[in-house]
Structure 1
Amino acid sequence: MASRAAKRPAATAAGTSLADELAVVAAAPLDQLRSRFRALYRVPAPESLSRDLIARLVAHRLQEQRLGKLDPNLAGQIDRLDRHGGGQTPRRRLKPGTVLVREHGGVLHEVMVVPGGFAWNGETHASLSVIARRITGTSWNGPRFFGLRPAQKAPVPDVAGAQEASDA
């Protein structure tokens, strides 16, 4: 496998460094950027793109040509993270003073975020799950109970696999 340094020539055949070329792109007028975009991408730049975005795309392609593309494995990992949010929903940071409201069994429950946890019915609790359990009498994910996280989707059953198993 070629080293990264081998992919990184200091200058083009014209003798300009990548940094110099990027400086030219940053200062280029829109018509020159559109022309450069067409030469690099082999399609005209969409009319809706701003000058700044066209310049960024041109700069990206120049860097890609000089330094090489992302490793296919890394590109795949980034794509999966982008599509699936890394397998997790970002956690919300609740500021003290935030009030969470949930109706359950015809009763309106208000929980206030306090520095030591969550205040409900005159008591402070370390987690929302403890409060949800006390409200419902069953085990609950507290953030889900109070609407801070979506319910997880149930896996779709493999109907074909189930059919094959029942035929066996």
Structure 2
Amino acid sequence: MTDTIPARLTALKTTPTPELRDQWRELFDSDPPPFNRRYLESRLAYRIQELAYGGLKPKTVRRLEKLGEELDGGDRKKSRIRADLTPIVGTRLIREWQGLEHVVTVTADGFEWQGRPYKSLSAIARAITGTRWNGWVFFGLKNRRSA
């Protein structure tokens, strides 16, 4: 392992997946999770750099944990939900439907449309169109094929 760190990181892109899994076992002393290749690459890249240059300072770790608790209220169930499932609070989703522009604001508790709170985008899409829609598809956050 006389390779430089940048060379090791670059090599991850072309390394076959079984070898990435072997590297995971080597660097983490555990079996790799059943996630996609991109996840393995990113976590391995971080771990390689962490071992070479050092990890986060304890003060930074404490600060991140505190911020995480503030965001999810310490609710373990909420903390397991992928952060990228819901757009960031304050985001405005704009959709034109039959010549009218509809603006939805993402709130901490769900969504707001025309001054009214909603728990789901699908409920808003239904109110706008009068038919059942997948809200994520209607607002362009997910394409029909992956819906």
TM-score by length of 1: 0.44
Q: Distance in 2 between matches of 1:50 and 1:66?
A: 25
1:68-83 to structure 2, matched below 5 A, reads 68-83=54-69
Aligned residues: 86
Contact 1:37 1:45 in 2 (8 A): yes
Distance 1:65 1:101, change over 3 A: closer
Percentage of identical aligned residues: 20
In the alignment, which residue of structure 2 is the partner of 1:92? Answer: 90
Per the TM alignment, residue 27 of structure 1 is displaced from its structure 2 partner at its CA by 1.4
In the alignment, which residue of structure 2 is the partner of 1:41? Answer: 28
Q: Distance in 2 between matches of 1:49 and 1:91?
A: 27
Contact 1:33 1:54 in 2 (8 A): yes
Per the TM alignment, residue 91 of structure 1 is displaced from its structure 2 partner at its CA by 5.2
- For residue 56 of structure 1, the aligned residue among 36, 42, 45 is 42
Contact 1:80 1:86 in 2 (8 A): no
1:25 aligns with 2:40: no
In the alignment, which residue of structure 1 is the partner of 2:85? Answer: none
Counterpart amino acid of residue 67 in structure 2: L
Q: Distance in 2 between matches of 1:67 and 1:41?
A: 16
**Residues 43-76 of structure 1: per-residue CA shift (max 9 Å, x gap):** 1112x21111111111111000111010000111
Q: Distance in 2 between matches of 1:26 and 1:83?
A: 34
TM-score by length of 2: 0.50
Give structure 1 regions of 4+ aligned residues with deviation exceeding 2 angstroms. Answer: 90-98
1:1-168 to structure 2, matched below 5 A, reads 14=2, 16-46=3-33, 48-85=34-71, 92=90, 98-101=113-116
Distance 1:92 1:66, change over 3 A: same
Per the TM alignment, residue 86 of structure 1 is displaced from its structure 2 partner at its CA by 9.1
Gaps of 5+ in 2: 74-87, 95-101, 104-112, 118-147
**Residues 68-115 of structure 1: per-residue CA shift (max 9 Å, x gap):** 01000011101111221298xx7535688651148xxxxxxxxxxxxx
Gaps of 5+ in 1: 1-12, 103-168
